[in-house]
Structure 1
Amino acid sequence: MEKRWIYKQTPPREAVEKLSQEININPYLSTILVQRGTNDFESAKAYFRPTLSELHDPFLMKDMQQAVDRLKRAIDSQEKILVYGDYDVDGTTAVALVYSYLRAFHPNCAVYIPDRHKEGYGVSRAGIEWADENGYSLIIALDCGIKAADMVVLAEHKGIDFIICDHHLPDEEIPNAVAVLDPKRKDCNYPYKELSGCALGFKLIQAYARQHRDEQEVYQFLDLVAVSTASDIVPITGENRILTYYGLKKLNENPLPGLKALREVSQNRSDLDVSGIVFTLGPRINAAGRVAHASAAVELLIAETESEALALAGALNLNNDTRRQFDLDITEEALSMIHNNEVLRSAKSTVLFKNTWHKGVIGIVAARC
């Protein structure tokens, strides 16, 4: 795909000079800030020193009250709750966040991550069958579910309710779940549309805590939100910027045991920023779902002791080494196939296949080649 640079217009000189004087910075920096919509001291303060009080009210999200009410009923009635999520970084961090919050006061909950190769992406029939066989009456779907209208119907027939927390663009038909939390819904007036799946899980527990517990409890999981936001390549603007700012502070000062262990096995001893997450933590979490099973990543992220976390992090690190080797081998083989075939060398597009190539990494290879 050809890159296209879009240059912002030079802002009015008066606005640049005014901001430079107000916050005492170089005019070149104030030019960039004004181009990004930061025009005065207050907006600059919000940009550089965001506060948690600036997070949007979670109840502005369509269906949030219904979600909180159903969750409260499940907890009060001691129902079994299944926290279900996608197998990538966003999904596994989302599952870890919601499960870790709930288990502190509701032991009747478990996690389910579909098998990447056997079940594929999203809510699977196998997952619903497992929930039914094990007596779960509420499924919280994270980073998936917005296109699972048929699976929601299947679950309903089995007496299982759904709360969907998804950030992907919905189809015209919204699943008939108890609640569908998706800021990209046409009928959702939530002010910020670019939250990650994990951030949506955070908004759900934030809303629940605000009405029924202590909201301060939820901020201990912001390091998971930062990891998901960085790894899922959502814009670091607006509410995401606030969540990431505080998530990075948590990650660098007092991370959850699983993330602390993952940093140790990756031998990263400097403070992490967004790029550090993308290139250090993200690939190791993703590797579990690519070459083994993503449930291993969740087990790490919900670990409660450092010793347990270190053992699990070591296994994920080995998975990542395996993923790298698969990646290298397939890349070399694919390029060799092209180089040795005149038709492929001259083709405008190339499609290659070999049944021995590992399904979990061919997407990475295709993107690079």
Structure 2
Amino acid sequence: MRAELLERYQALPLPTTKDEHWRFTDLRGFDPDAWSAEVVEQAEVASLVDLDVAASATIDESGIQVSDVGRIPTGVRFEPLTEDHPLVGSLVRPDDKFRAHNAAVWQHGLLVHVGEGVVVEKPLYLRVSSAAPGGSLHWRVLVVAEPGSRFTLVQELTSADEELETYVNGVVEVVVRDGAKAEIVDLQRLSRKAWLFASFHARVERDAELDWVEGGFGSAKGKVWIQNDLAGRGATSRVTGAYFADGTQHLDYDTYQLHAAPDTTSDFAFKGALRDSAATVWRGMIRVEEGAQKTNAYQENRNLLLSKTATANSIPGLEILANDVRCTHGATLSQVDREQLFYLMARGLPRAEAERLIVRGFFQDVLDRIDLEPVRDALGATLEARIPEA
């Protein structure tokens, strides 16, 4: 199977700006085969968020290490993922260059399986850490929430050095069974010279809930796909995204809300702030299948430009095959309100501090959507910290 997947990867072309989903993300000069699989000693990297966790794991070039599993309840599997698990590859298909690359060469992965009716009070934590200069890291996570279970998984992507040039390629597949509730937090703060390609795909079944938080602060360029399939009656998914790009960063988010069953709800809200010559892309699609009546779907992307040279592209979309639905979307692009800035500076605040307050106010409504207080506080502080002192 790996040999077949490798052949498929090699046969697939690298996307170009002629491909609709890559129209604003130019990969010229990037060769996924030019990166090594070197193993190096990991440096200690401080976590963005301070959590009291039930169990933790680290994935890096050397493998996966799992710890603290004695603190998790009976009925929870928090262990290395093997490629023979029947759900591996059930959601994320090798249908493009990067997903095929991950499927062909990934080595290190984590299985999070929460048994029926099990409630995990404290978060489960995974750190994915890249440390090899010129290296590549392909990882995979499979999350299965059995009926009636409740838990939170926090995944943090880090680099050992802010100037580290790496290629990071990840896949996360999430299955939320009937009546379960899962919260997934993904915090990305890779090196400003890292290439990131990640595919996150979830299937939410009858009366189940998925709450996904996406924080984007690092990487140089790449793309993140987020797809939620509302596959059972009464399924609900909510995705909250907050990102900040500066310098020459280029962040690209491609989201897909698939309503395949009636009485389902999805709510995707992404907000970003940009400085310098940074660029962002957000593409959102809501698709409602023919039998998915009473669908309630919403998507929005709002961007705040903190410089005249920053660029944000928003492409919302709807594909509706049912006739009794409520689907709405919105996208806005704005600069810092000069009157707000003048008002704050006239009261003695330095420009940088005034901009921090404006940025915090801009993001406040998406931060309020995050239930886990340490994550909410960490995201708010990180967003404000991106405003330079002078």
* TM-score, scaled relative to structure 2: 0.27
Structure scoring higher RCO (CA < 8 A, sep ≥ 6) equals 1
Name whichever structure is richer in strand by fraction.
Answer: 2
Name whichever structure is richer in helix by fraction.
Answer: 1
* TM-score, scaled relative to structure 1: 0.28
